[in-house]
Structure 1
Amino acid sequence: MQRRKFLLASLALYPISIFAKFKNQFMERTNKGFTVKAGEARFGEHYTMKGVTANTLDIKISGKDTDEGIAVFEQTGHTLNGGPPLHIHPLQDEWFYVVEGKYYFQVGEDTFYLEAGDTIFLPKNVPHAFVQLTEKASMMVTYLPAGKMEAFFKTTAAWTRPPSKEEMAKAFTDHDMIIAGPPLKVK
């Protein structure tokens, strides 16, 4: 009887082992270290947003590298007094590290001024936004898990004109985000 249970259990696990081999063979997860030089993007593509801001985002660590566990971008700010609308990530936490310049953030009801060297954590399901306060600014932006952020930045970079409010809302919704209010005003 024990042998029969063992054989049945082994047969039941066989499809799982086949799937694991298939997944490892066809998924793009990186199993080696890599570097991305300053001013470069992981796959050579710079995403310059249009409509949300004119900022450039460079993938430094892709969701493809981590089985979608994390994505890291370098955001170079080109939009003084600009930033995204107040929005919510229902599925992702975010972490920002200011490399250069100054920013003003709202996270829930709390507001924060950040400058080079400062870090801020934005929990999922909490409305948030930021405004760039200096002419030159940049941040490292991390999404946990990676979610659809790479696709979002690719979508916004493909716009040829500023989007309508409906187009903007659709882009956010299609990439698992919710617009919760207008962009922040500088205080």
Structure 2
Amino acid sequence: DLVDLGKYMISWHSQRPNIAYSETKIFDKYFEQLFKRDYEPENIYALSYWMSEVWKKWTKENPLSLNESLLAMKAYAPYHHLYAVSLCFCVSNSMPEGVPSPVITYEKARNSNIVDQIVSMAGTCLNSALEAAANEPQPANRVFSPQNWIKTKSCLAGIRLAIIQYFTMLPSMPGGPELTEQLRTALSMDASDFEARWAAD
């Protein structure tokens, strides 16, 4: 489905899940950037695979105990979750400006048997970012709106910060040093496995 693929690509390669909700933007404004390049079938499969794993966390059972405000934004927020998955690889490899190859992240995670762990970690960090934003002081007569927040660039920075904080705090948690080493090994990628972000602003 070209619509779904466009949403995956703009969330992962352009790092702009906040505009994935807009099919009009994907097909009118960003069509050239997204679809006019050679794109490996393996990457299409990898993005679809990651997204299918993300959707498993957005069921009515709510396995990650996601905030009700997030669950109410099921049309938008799962693409932020996919974005957070990609950031786990960026942060772990100290590649803040890079975008990881989808197929290599898929192979790394599958081979290390940590797919579910990464998806859960990414979802938890998305949840933390929302709750941190909700707790920030608001301008006078303003009420925090999750629906507005999820569409902003500050939301993306908040998700990245939550993932950085997770990796920073992990070694001090019970069992953290072992888990930190496991993740560092499993998520390790070469600089050549990253590319520049596709423009979509």
Bigger RCO of structures 1 and 2 (CA < 8 A, at least 6 apart):
2
The structure with more strand, counted as a fraction of residues: 1
Which structure would you say has the larger Rg? 1
TM-score (norm 1): 0.26
The structure with more helix, counted as a fraction of residues: 2
TM-score (norm 2): 0.24
